[in-house]
Structure 1
Amino acid sequence: MPESQASSVDKTVIAAIGFGGNIGNPRKTMARALALLDERDDIHIRTVSRLYRTPPWGNTDQEWFHNACVLVETTLDPHELLKVCLDTELALGRVRADRWGPRTIDLDVLLHGDFLSDHADLTVPHPRMTERAFVMVPLADIAPQAVVNLQSVADWSSLVDSEGIEALSRDGDWWLQP
């Protein structure tokens, strides 16, 4: 096999995905999304943050959200992982209407190994993630030493306004419970 192909075959990376939702039963929908991802051969759930109840961001005239973050081991490249996330959203009833509006489920690729991209179709690290407590607080549960824009997730988490954010679980096993 040529060297250029060999280096990209079965390379496992750690990626971070943000989860959220505020329509229906977000906890149940997020748990189903995690299960769907974990059923795949090319994605393995490594660790899940606590589940949080968070105030809406952007459009504040809506129900509060449930949010969590997950670290996965994957052989998918960033664009493939994004496609899996979007397909999972669709399978769980996501309808894209208003930006920052209510949603049954939202999956965002936050980080993907050391991959950096600033393209319209995929920006990694996720744009504005360091400004959003609903991302940084759960991400700090599972990857406090990860570096985003030259600063640790733990440091970013300490800088965001986390007022109103409430932990709904003691640990990351909430998605495995009936």
Structure 2
Amino acid sequence: MENDSTKTEVFSWIKSLLAVVVLVIVCRQFLFTPVTVNGGSMSPTFQDNDRVMVLKMSEIEHFDMIVFEAPTSSDKHIKRVIGMAGDTLKVMNDRLYINDALVEEPYLEENKASSPFALTEDFEVVVPEDCLFVMGDNRLSSGDSRLYGFVPKDNVFGEVKIRFYPLSGIGLPE
């Protein structure tokens, strides 16, 4: 009798562990995944080796931070969405205009304060269908759409939702 209850208990634990493993695999495959930031192109928002959680099922909007496969390599990049399909983007005198409306970029203030140079050179582009235009927050040191062009929406893994490492920086990114 005691042997049967032990077997039942062990079997119950095995079923529970398998259920947890399957749940983790499904969540990671379809809902969210952790990503490590490489480089300083998103500084000061993210630093090299920060760890973030990416939500795969998210509606991407202007200024969201996304993880995507770069058009020039299979590397995962983290950048901020500046333009969406159909947008006309213009930067003049370090100021961003989306569809002729001036847009404030508060996430650039720290970098602007510490640089004697303009962060973003002047340009004008129209974002094609099914594409995004992305830039890093550290504009002077960011390989982004200004360098490699538009990012196809199909290359997007998801939206950065939370930083979970380092512990001192846990929280929602701005």
- TM, length-normalised to structure 2: 0.26
Bigger strand share? 2
Q: Larger C-alpha radius of gyration, 1 or 2?
A: 2
- TM, length-normalised to structure 1: 0.25
